[in-house]
């Protein structure tokens, strides 16, 4: 907790000029930072906020997967802000690009929402949204949740979480493997302002500015993949809207994040 608090002022100063009214909150423990900010959004609390938790007791990933979080050994936070892009497609990929660029050149991106280090899972992203105003408005409050391993988790803990979620486990990685001695607070200060800047850039221009840097860090490019619906093929990058392109025996298929999860074969 002292480590995170030591960096809060610097994070706030770096972001508030981009997001007037922006605040940072740090909690010792919470069920899920994303769940809390979604509760606030549904209750009409729409101010931009970064909510950081030293520990999450019920952290969530995409498709209801659990996220292993340990105080001092991981960084978990959620960013909430009103957003009205012309097209929401590719937002999680843009977030991944932003985080990877802020953290380390070796970090790769596994479509659609994982950060990998040396073929192992370093972190994950969960993007959710709640409507603002009547149905005629495009504006929504978006909540972007990020979980990053600072120290490499014990494999047994990851296996347990994967078994409980009913998913295939992926070996874990920790950021301290390439940034020796880094703390959660230091990582937060590294990524927060750039993340806000890049999300606002996505609102203005969509996924296009992030397509090339995503391709540079695409962990699945030219690799055989298996889809959760049983399909298989060779990953061929992403479309202009961020859909995964898979060359299958029946031709090229575009897969959206809502349809499948993907694992290397």
242-246 long-range contacts, Cβ below 8 Å, gap at least 24? 242/89, 242/90, 242/91, 242/92, 242/93, 242/112, 242/207, 242/214, 243/89, 244/111, 244/112, 244/220
Distance CA 111, CA 218 (A): 8
Residue 263 bears catalytic tag: yes
The residues with which 83 forms a beta bridge, in sequence order, are 140
Distance CA 3, CA 182 (A): 11
Per-residue buried b or exposed e for 30-68, using 16+ beta carbons within 10 Å of the residue's own CB = bebbbbbbbebbeeeebebbbbbbbbbeebbbbeebbbb
Tokens 């994982």 found at: 114
Residues 6+ apart with CB under 8 A from 158: 68, 169, 170, 171, 172
Catalytic residue among 40, 62, 110, 152: 62
Q: Is 237 helix (H, G, I), strand (E, B) or coil?
A: strand
Residue 62 bears catalytic tag: yes
Residue 65 bears catalytic tag: no
Distance CA 191, CA 115 (A): 14
List active site positions: 62, 121, 263
């Amino acid at each position: 907790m002292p480590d995170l608090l030591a960096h809060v002022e610097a994070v706030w100063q770096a972001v508030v000029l981009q997001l007037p009214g922006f605040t940072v909150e740090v909690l010792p423990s919470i069920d899920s930072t994303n769940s809390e900010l979604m509760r606030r959004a549904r209750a009409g609390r729409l101010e931009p906020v970064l909510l950081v938790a030293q520990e999450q007791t019920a952290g969530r990933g995409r498709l209801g997967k659990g996220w292993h979080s340990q105080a001092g050994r991981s960084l978990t936070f959620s960013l909430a802000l009103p957003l009205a892009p012309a097209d929401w497609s590719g937002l999680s990929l843009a977030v991944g690009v932003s985080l990877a660029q802020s953290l380390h050149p070796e970090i790769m991106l596994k479509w659609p929402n994982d950060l990998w280090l040396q073929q192992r899972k370093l972190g994950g992203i969960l993007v959710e949204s709640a409507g603002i105003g009547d149905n005629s408005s495009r504006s929504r409050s978006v909540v972007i949740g990020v979980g990053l391993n600072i120290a490499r988790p014990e494999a047994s803990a990851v296996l347990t979480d994967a078994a409980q979620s009913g998913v295939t486990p992926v070996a874990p990685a920790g950021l301290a493997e390439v940034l020796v001695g880094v703390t959660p607070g230091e990582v937060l200060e590294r990524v927060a302002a750039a993340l806000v800047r890049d999300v606002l850039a996505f609102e203005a221009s969509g996924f296009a500015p992030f397509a090339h840097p995503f391709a540079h860090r695409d962990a699945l490019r030219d690799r055989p993949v298996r889809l959760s619906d049983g399909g298989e093929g060779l990953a061929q990058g992403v479309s202009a809207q961020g859909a995964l392109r898979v060359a299958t025996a029946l031709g090229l298929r575009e897969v959206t994040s809502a349809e499948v999860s993907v694992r290397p074969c």
